[in-house]
């Protein structure tokens, strides 16, 4: 039973084809003849009569809460109807809503809260969804009224959230940040009144991995995805006409490609391209798709990923073994691609 009662009216009732004025409604515990209270007000402060006597129009009304057996009789106590196990529970009181107010059925009103180090998102009195503005770094929230309290933050921009002992962010390790983009939704659930868990739903529908990988030993768990640029280089005083590289990292495997056009080799390496975005765990072959204006004439050339560098190995004759030859010089162009496992 709730703390409030539900209003209900019955009738009009008829007896022998005529309106039954002033009908009587007896109210019992379901399945019994034990009297069960009804009330004249929603707050259940005034108990209704037993029986409840209706009006001249044959209508009986009162406030009820729970399961009832109801017996309707006319003014002469002739039984007209008997209903058992009638559920008259106050529905709204049964809703497990923490904070906010109900407008109609479910309150979808939104409140604006500015980002801060410890914003008080549980102090709002209208709705459970918050338009979260600004770009301040949040490390926690003001205390919630109870464990299980929940709010949804709709980020307006690049708000920052730092994972820690009191802010548990799905997919983000302690000490690292999650930076939102406009439209991101974050569900905040109070684990205790001072410890909160954040679940992230990206506005674009894409899944965002944490900035720092959280390794998983489970063979069916994808624990990282990243893509971006890298800068191939031969070091020294070399200058370049083109110096471009991209990578895609999926779990522990990295796919790379690069285009390198050397203007002047200077003191740069003639056989090693450095700058890989991740260190390779073991020697991995790289495919050279195009090579022109090399310093040494070769019949074949390939690369091998060694830690954070790519060593170029080539053959100067068809029957020769591959070796590290001085192939890079002024005007040399190399385009290569491949993949390797991260150390």
Give the mean pLDDT of 265-280.
Answer: 96
How far lies 92's CA from each of 1, 9, 41, 136, 261, in Å? 11, 18, 16, 38, 71
Task: Give the per-residue pLDDT at 221.
Answer: 74
Task: Give the per-residue pLDDT at 213.
Answer: 72
Residue 330 structure tokens: 């002024």
Q: What is the pLDDT of residues 175-207, one digit of tens each?
A: 988 888 888 889 999 999 999 999 887 655 566
Superfamily of 6-92 according to CATH: Phage P22 tailspike-like, N-terminal domain (2.170.14.10)
Task: Give the per-residue pLDDT at 17.
Answer: 80
Poorest-pLDDT segment among 50-59, 104-113, 230-239, 298-307:
104-113
Task: Give the per-residue pLDDT at 107.
Answer: 55
Is the torsion defined by CA of 204, 210, 215, 217 positive or negative?
negative
Poorest-pLDDT segment among 161-170, 205-214, 278-287, 334-343:
205-214
Task: Check residues 52 and 203 and name the one with the higher pLDDT.
Answer: 52
Q: Is the pTM of this model over 0.75?
A: no
Give the mean pLDDT of 14-41.
Answer: 91
Task: Check residues 95 and 341 and name the one with the higher pLDDT.
Answer: 341
Task: Check residues 31 and 173 and name the one with the higher pLDDT.
Answer: 31
- Assess whether pLDDT exceeds 90 at residue 141: yes
Task: Check residues 167 and 1 and name the one with the higher pLDDT.
Answer: 167
- Assess whether pLDDT exceeds 50 at residue 92: no
Q: What is the mean pLDDT of the chain?
A: 88
Task: Give the per-residue pLDDT at 94.
Answer: 42
- Residue whose C-alpha is closest to residue 70's, from 42, 39, 29, 41: 29
Task: Give the per-residue pLDDT at 234.
Answer: 97
β strands within 74-115, DSSP E: 79-87, 110-114
- Assess whether pLDDT exceeds 90 at residue 119: yes
- Residue whose C-alpha is closest to residue 72's, from 29, 30, 22, 36: 22
- Assess whether pLDDT exceeds 70 at residue 156: yes
The contacts of residue 218 (CB under 8 Å, 6+ apart) are: none
Task: Give the per-residue pLDDT at 89.
Answer: 75
Q: What is the pLDDT of residues 219-258, one digit of tens each?
A: 777 778 889 999 999 999 999 999 999 999 998 899 999 9
Task: Give the per-residue pLDDT at 222.
Answer: 78
Task: Give the per-residue pLDDT at 331.
Answer: 97
How far lies 278's CA from each of 17, 185, 222, 257, 281, in Å? 90, 32, 18, 13, 9
- Assess whether pLDDT exceeds 60 at residue 217: yes
Task: Give the per-residue pLDDT at 182.
Answer: 87
Q: What is the pLDDT of residues 277-323, one digit of tens each?
A: 999 988 899 999 999 999 999 999 999 999 999 999 999 998 888 99
Q: How many CB atoms lie within 10 A of CB 237?
A: 10
Residue 44 structure tokens: 């259940």
Task: Give the per-residue pLDDT at 96.
Answer: 46
């Amino acid at each position: 039973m709730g703390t409030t009662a539900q209003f209900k009216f019955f009738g009009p009732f008829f007896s022998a084809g005529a309106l039954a004025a002033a009908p009587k409604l007896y109210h019992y515990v379901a399945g019994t003849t034990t009297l069960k209270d009804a009330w004249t007000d929603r707050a259940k402060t005034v108990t209704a009569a037993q029986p409840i006597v209706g009006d001249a129009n044959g209508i009986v009304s009162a406030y009820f809460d729970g399961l009832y057996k109801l017996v309707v009789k006319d003014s002469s106590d002739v039984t007209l109807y008997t209903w058992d196990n009638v559920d008259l529970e106050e529905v709204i009181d049964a809703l497990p809503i923490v904070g906010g107010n109900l407008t109609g059925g479910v309150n979808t009103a939104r409140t604006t809260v500015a980002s801060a180090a410890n914003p008080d998102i549980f102090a709002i009195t209208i709705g459970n969804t918050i338009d979260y503005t600004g770009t301040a770094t949040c490390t926690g929230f003001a205390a919630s009224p109870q464990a299980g309290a929940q709010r949804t933050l709709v980020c307006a921009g690049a708000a920052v959230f730092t994972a820690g002992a009191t802010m548990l962010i799905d997919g983000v390790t302690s000490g690292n940040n999650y930076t939102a983009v406009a439209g991101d939704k974050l569900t905040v659930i109070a684990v205790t009144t001072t410890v909160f868990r954040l679940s992230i739903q990206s506005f674009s529908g894409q899944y965002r991995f944490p900035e720092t990988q959280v390794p998983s030993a489970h063979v069916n768990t994808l624990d990282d995805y990243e893509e971006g640029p890298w800068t191939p280089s031969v070091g020294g005083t070399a200058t370049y006409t083109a110096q471009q590289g991209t990578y895609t990292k999926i779990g522990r495997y990295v796919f790379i490609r690069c285009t390198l056009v050397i203007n002047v080799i200077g003191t740069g390496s003639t056989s090693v391209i450095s700058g890989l975005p991740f260190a390779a765990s073991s020697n991995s072959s790289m495919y050279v798709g195009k090579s022109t204006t090399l310093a040494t004439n070769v019949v074949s050339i390939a690369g091998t990923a060694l830690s954070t560098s790519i060593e170029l190995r080539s053959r100067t004759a068809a029957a020769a073994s591959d070796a590290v030859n001085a192939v890079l010089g002024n005007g040399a162009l190399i385009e290569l691609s491949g993949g390797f496992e991260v150390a």
